[in-house]
Amino acid sequence: MIERLEAIVREAGEHMLAFQNPKTFVKEGHHNFVTEADLFVESFLIERIQPLAPGTCFYAEEQDNQALTDSPTWVIDPIDGTTNYMRGRGVSSISVALLEGKEPVLGMVYDPYKEELFLAEKGKGATRNGQAIHVSDIPFERALVCFGTSPYDASLAHKTTSLLWPFLRDAGDLRRCGSAALDLCDLACGRSDVFFELKLSPWDFAAGGLIVQEAGGCFRQPDKPAPQYGTPSPILATNPLCLEAALAILNGEVE
């Protein structure tokens, strides 16, 4: 099934890149968009993935979703980083996760621009294009901190920007990518050391979170005792050396 899923996701990436100036529609919230490419890629993924495991459910960004259940469920973000995609920035991805009992057992993120495919199966480690990956061993004082701004929820703008100061002061430097799934995969393969965002939906982090964990990293929802995948949540991912300091900042223990 993994090989067939990879072929489907790579083909979805080809469709994504084939669109030229796709139509754009405004969604609810501040600076929140969907394109005809998002809609096409999501429909393509659902249609092609369904036969891999008949009877499974789908929880996807551009459809009306029922509450998550314990049934096997595919969680799909057809284009993570839609604004980047609309603006031709070349930093977007396709994210697919399989949940069983509301927990990820498989995660796949594909960057069609770099042709990088990240994969994790629960208990089996994580790979990039078939090669094993692992988080960095960089300490917090030299950490490269990536973050998201949750631009669709303007109420989080002040808190997000206020958190940047202690991270910039106490860690190494900051980066803003625009695709949470790629941020998580970059952390998983040692390109960065911390990632946080104050509000992400499950399709943004279900696959990437598992990839981080299987690469030896830490994945948290600071407001919950354990990650949950049925509602939007704040997200923190780090290598093990950076977890304590990053959590302290997010929890308001450091100014």
Closest to 206 in 3D by CA, of 60, 90, 92: 60
pLDDT of 27 strictly over 80:
no
- Domain residues of the chain, as ranges? 2-132, 140-250
pLDDT of 14 strictly over 90:
yes
Cα dihedral: 85, 87, 90, 92 (round 10): -30
Q: How far is CA 197 from the centre of its chain?
A: 10
Q: What is the pTM of this model?
A: 0.96
- Which phi and psi angles does 174 have, rounded to 5°? -115, 150
How many angstroms separate the CA atoms of 211 and 184, rounded?
A: 8
Do 41 and 15 touch, CB atoms closer than 8 A?
yes
Q: What is the pLDDT of residue 43?
A: 96
Give the pLDDT band of residue 63 (cuts 50, 70, 90): confident
Q: What is the pLDDT of residue 65?
A: 86
CATH of 2-132, one of 3.40.50.300, 3.30.540.10, 3.40.47.10, 3.40.50.150: 3.30.540.10
The model's pLDDT over 164-205, given as tens digits with 9 standing for 90+, comes to: 999 999 999 999 999 999 999 999 999 999 999 999 999 999
CATH classification (class only), 140-250: alpha beta
What Å distances lie between residue 141 and 25, 90, 241, 245, CA to CA? 42, 30, 10, 9
Interval 147-155 mean pLDDT: 94
